[in-house]
Structures are given as structure tokens and as C-alpha cells.
Structure 1
């Protein structure tokens, strides 16, 4: 750690020999997560929807470190067929995976549905990652020190609950509440996965992180009324995407991390700062809610887990 005891990217240990799959890694937090892991010696798979942007990200990483071991995998989390195709390709290419970082996401989108008819934010942020994790998990389970890291958000506290009676917002749509539902689901999934892993004393752990307020492309769907304020106050509210990636990197690599933990910034309101262990909402720790969401997610995706 730095002299003031703050965890930084310099604290990421050597990742040589490790395989890391990072979703949504062509830009923002995912890109910086992947770049640091690659610079520390990991073989990093950029799992991205847009291969052109993915190639540009790969080139940026290699421009800084020509020895970086980085490859691309097409993955559209809003289409279960794409998730299955990507998982098959990754399973064929990698008999072992050390890190699966469920980072990709969409935020505050206008009402849209995925290829499979799911509300876009819930389908992409939660169900796509749920399916991908289930399909890849047996590549992590034998690997000592392997981790599933899922990126949530402070939005899991904002008008957030799991609308089991209308998961896909067919009766009415509130994009802020729908995003909150998807980010709450990320945490419920993480905690239930960890419970199942721990019950069988597996090598793998499940951990969560959130970036605080970070300046990324996710903010492109901010309501018009908010954008002027964000333009003015942005430097106070948001940290860089590189800094926003630190909680994810700590959750993925710090050897003191334990299953079921949650990492976020240490500043006021967890908006900015260096990564530390933080608490999520009481609702996210509701074991009955975790189990119920898990069962619904299995039903919707058709994916069951080997734990």
C-alpha cells in the first residue's frame, strides 16, 4: 500500500499465469481493470459486444505494454444465444479461468427489451452475467484462489427492489428504479453464489465491488434535466474511470479478500477515493430474497449452476 495506507493499482500482485475474463472491457472501468491485470502479467480476455471498440482497447493496452497478453471474445449480454456462444468459446480455449469479472452494464436506458424479451437493464446487468457465470463456473471451481467479481452500484439503494410481479416493467417503466433493481440483483446474486460455494468448501469465492461516482460512458443516458448540473459539478462528484476501477481490482486480487465481501471508495458517501471494505443495504442481505431471485434467474435463463 502507499505510505498513507491507501490501496492503489501498484498493490495488485503479480498475475502471471492467471486467466482473467472481463466483460465490458473496451471502455471505462472494465478497460482500466483489464489493462492493470494485463500489465501485471495476466492473460486477459476482453469480452465485449463491439469487436471494433474491443480491438481499439486491445491496441491501447499493447501500446503501453507490447508484451501484454490480451485477446478478444465477442459477448452480447443482452442475448442469451450470444452468452452461450461466448461461454462455449471460452470453455474451449481455457481449461482454467482464475478471474471472471462481471463488469459490463447499461444504466438508465429508455424502455427497451433484450433479444429474449427481458427489460434491458435487468437482462443485461443481471441475467446475462448470471448465465455467463453459470456456464463458466466449472472452469473456475478447480482453481485455487479463483474469484467471481460482480460490479454493483450505489444505485442498489435508490428506489431499488426486485419487482417479482413485474420484473420486466411491462405495466409501467421507471428507468432509475429499473437500474436500481438490476444493481440490487447483482448483490443478491453475489451473496447467494458465495453461500453455495462456501457450503461446498470450494476454491472459488464470489465478491462484489462498486466504483462510486465515475466518469464513464454509463452516464450518457442521464436525464436531460440533470446533465447541466453534472457538467458543472462533475469534477466534484466523479472520479476518473481508472480510479473507479480500483475497488474491482482490489476485490479481484487482494489476497486478504474473503468471499461475500463488498468493496467501494473510502471517501464521503463512497463517491470517490481509494478502495475499502464497505457495506451494502440490508435488503441485499435478505437470504430469502437471494434464493427467490436465484430460482427465477435459473428459470428465465435456462442455466443451472454446478453448486
Structure 2
């Protein structure tokens, strides 16, 4: 493929922040930008969470919403704006030779384009669009009288047809092509989307073998490595729960077992943190993103073996030590990021008792030491951001919101069993009505970890994937410096 005659090209894709119909085109653009050095490609998205407030204004602006006042849109050199997913894919295929080459069996260009477009249409219209319809309609698999139930068979039958067609090719790609065409990107997304949706829409094992092989080949393309080759280190105290989480990730993402590693790290033990950091620095090559997320809300009033309040050590001091021990690795891999998962409850702390800061013996707060631990996270984020900004290490704090996770066992240690049993049903009801799911709660964590526009951002604290304002105490510079000095002394750094 060659675009030398086109000169330098600036491409900007704008889409909704969800896995929608545009994903196939995103794969194409990543591959195009990797292959063609004259392409400047970036992407941005509209947040579904704020669509009710912001989208009406953005929709009216054609520089954002394009000619059809909808997303996705592709901006070409700031002079042309194109809409509609299929149109974007076909435009890119024509411009960057993604319709393939003539072969002995297909020696007419129009016929070749016709064959390729047929595969694209099947993947996009009969599989991708139908799977998304099933997702948004929350289809009940047991209700065969539901008019949408027939979509399950349509999806399965078309996957089988695409599988059989691929088997006829003498190469790994459709119609004997040596490199992927637009058809391969759309089929790749169709199959992975259907598989991730539900087993019920897949053809039997024999009728998907070619698609499985095709998926693995597409995942190995260097340009798509960012999607599929991330190495995740799960550091946790409870290795049994860690293994369950790792197994779930392997099943749901089809990740390679070599790309996920489970390591023991007990934040309530500074010795354990030091052992983990030493092992990580010796055995792991990279650290691009460090997410510090501990949520010990309650603890019986006992100290850790290091002499600190368990909540303070688990939520703050353990991560403080861990971050400092891994700083050299983060700097080596810059641009890199540190994400501290805090809480809105930090705002309930009006002052800090410096004489009781890490033991919290005289903490009168109903939530115990939890709000203080989350305040300390933001204060340390301020200091890290000031120290590391010039080093190209971005540091952010965030609140995921109130999540529907359970703290029942630990809560019972703090209040009496009678009070716990009386309040538990009410709290459960409130969580059911108002709390976020863990998936929604993770949105802001993922946003701060991977959003490209946050590189060298001055943003400090985030909520619902947007910059928010922490409490005045959380950014008080005197408190920032004092806490940092006391933390260094506490963990002996």
C-alpha cells in the first residue's frame, strides 16, 4: 500500500465511548496509521454518561456531528467530514488499498470489490448490528416468542456462512489475499463481538474453526497489539480470589495466559509490599500504568504489625510505599500514569489530627478511618503530580462513586451484630436503587488510565470521566507537604 501521492494526512475519528458498530473501522485506522508513516491519526469520543446534557449542542454542530448529525464521524485534514460506519470503512479501503489485489480466480477489480463488499455487508448488517440490537433490547434467551429471538439464528447462520467462505481461501484472509482487506476487519469484529455477547449466537465448534484461527492471526498484527497484548499484573492479598479474577479475565477476554500474572501483595504489611516491589522490579520489564485501588472500608480497632490503623495502611500507606518503590520503573516507561482510586467521602473530613494521623485512635467519624485514608490519597496525588509532571508521569485521583460491593463482614466488627442485622436490609435496598454496578464504577478508572487526551493534563481529580473539584483540604499545600514528610518517615524511606 502506498499513499505518497496523498501527502501528509490528518485523520480524527469521533465516536461514542462504547463498543459499537465503529470498532471495525477503529481497527482499520490503527493498521493504516501503523503502516503509513504520513498518517497522523487520533481519536476522541462522546461520553454516553453526559449525552443528555452535552449531545444536543454537539449534535447541532456539524463540525462535531458531521453531515448526518450523528456519530461516528471522520475528519480528514480538517477539510472533509464523513459519517456512517460503512461509508468510513469503504472510504478508507479505497484510499489505502484495503480491497485487496487481483488473483488468478478473480481478475476483475469490480468483481473483487463486489465479493469483498458482500462479506463486509454480511458481517456488519447481519451480525454486528443484530448483536448490538440484542444487547440493547436485553433479549431473553428463553423467550422464543419474542420477535427478536430470530436474530439469534440469523447471527449464528451468518457466522457459519462466513466461516465456510473463509475455509475456501488459500491464505489466512478472504479471497486468497496476502494481507487483510476491509472484509477481514469487519469479520474479525463480528466474530469477537458475537462470542463476547453469548455462546448461544455461535455456530457449533466445527463451524467456527476458521473464524477462530482468523481471530488469532488478526490479534497478532503489530498495529492491534495495544488492544490485545496488554500485560496485567494482579497484586492482591488473597491469592484464591486473585486466581478467580484471573480465570474470569482469561475467559471473558480470550487473553493469553502469559499476559496476566498474579502476585501476592498484602498492603497491610510493609514487608510484603517491599517484597512485591523488589520482585516486580527484577522480573517485569515495564510499568506503564499503576492503579492503586484498595477499598478497606471498615476494620476492627486493631493495629497492623507495622503499628498503623489497618484502613489507613491498606488504603494509603501501603500504596504510598508501593508507588515510591516503583517510581524508577514508571519513569523508565514514560509517558506513564499513576491512578489513585479515592472516594467522595474524603470531603467529609474538615481537619486533620496530625498527632493521631496514622493510628486514628481518636477518630470520631462514623465511617471510621476510611474518609481520612481517601483524603490522604488525594493529598499525595497532589505532591506526586507536582514532582513528576516534568518527568512525563501523569498522576490522577478519582472517585468511582458508590458501588454495589459488599462490606458486610467487616462492617459487623464495627457496629454491634444487632445494629448490623437491623440496618443491613435497608442498606441493601439503598444500594440496589442508587449504587453503581462495578462495571459502571470502573469507567472513570479506565478513562484516567488510557484516555490519550489526558497526557500531560493538569487535571487532578476525576468523577464520571470528567474533571471534578476535590475538597479545599485535599489540595491544601501545607497539608500536602506535611503529610508527605510524615508518610516518608512512617514507611522508612
Give the TM-score range, shorter chain: 0.7 to 0.9
From 208, 214, 217, give the equivalent of 2:406. 217
C-alpha contact (below 8 Å) 1:149/1:208 kept by paired residues = yes
- How many residues are treated as equivalent by the alignment? 263
Correspondence 1:57 to 2:248: no
Q: Secondary structure at the match of 1:45?
A: strand
| CA separation of 1:260 and 1:219: change in aligned 2, threshold 3 A | farther
- Tell me which structure has the larger Cα radius of gyration: 2
Q: What is residue 255 of structure 2 aligned with on the other side?
A: 67
Say which SS state the counterpart of residue 452 (structure 2) adopts: coil
Closer/same/farther in 2, CA of residues 219 and 95 from structure 1, 3 Å limit: same
> Are residues 1:2 and 2:190 paired?
no
Question: In the alignment, is the contact (CA less than 8 A) between 2:228 and 2:255 conserved in 1?
Answer: no
| Structure 1: distance between partners of 2:356 and 2:404 | 31
Per-residue deviation, residues 59-104 of structure 1 (Å, max 9, x unmatched): 1111123334210110000000000000001001123210110012
- Which residue in 2 is equivalent to 1:197? 388
**Residue 450 of structure 2 corresponds to which residue in structure 1?**
253
Conservation of the 8 A alpha-carbon contact between 1:160 and 1:178: no
Partner of 2:230: 42
- 1:179 is aligned to 370
1:91 corresponds, among 268, 275, 281, to 281
Q: Aligned-pair RMSD on alpha carbons?
A: 2.2
1:90-169 alignment, distance < 5 Å: 90-159=280-349, 161-167=351-357, 168-169=359-360
| Farther-moved stretch of structure 1 (139-148 vs 39-48) | 39-48
Structure 1 runs (4+) deviating above 4 angstroms are 171-175
Deviates more, 1:78-87 or 1:53-62: 53-62
Matched, 1:231 2:437: no
Tell me how far apart the structure 2 counterparts of residues 129 and 245 of structure 1 sit (CA, whole Å): 19
Q: Cα distance, 1:252 vs. partner?
A: 0.7
- In the superposition, the TM-score normalised over structure 2's length comes to 0.51
Structure 1 CA distance, aligned partners of 2:437 and 2:243?
22
Cα distance in 1, alignment partners of residues 386 and 397 from structure 2: 14
Q: 1:145 to 1:259 in 2, by over 3 A?
A: farther
Structure with greater proportional helix content: 2
Quick one: structure 1 residues 85 and 260, their matched pair in 2 at CA, closer, same or farther if it must change by over 3 Å? farther
Contact 1:125 1:183 in 2 (8 A): yes
Alpha-carbon offset, residue 42 of structure 1: 1.2
Q: Which has the higher contact order (CA 8 A, sep 6+)?
A: 1
Gaps (5+ residues) in structure 1? 9-37, 266-274
Match of 2:439 in 1: 242
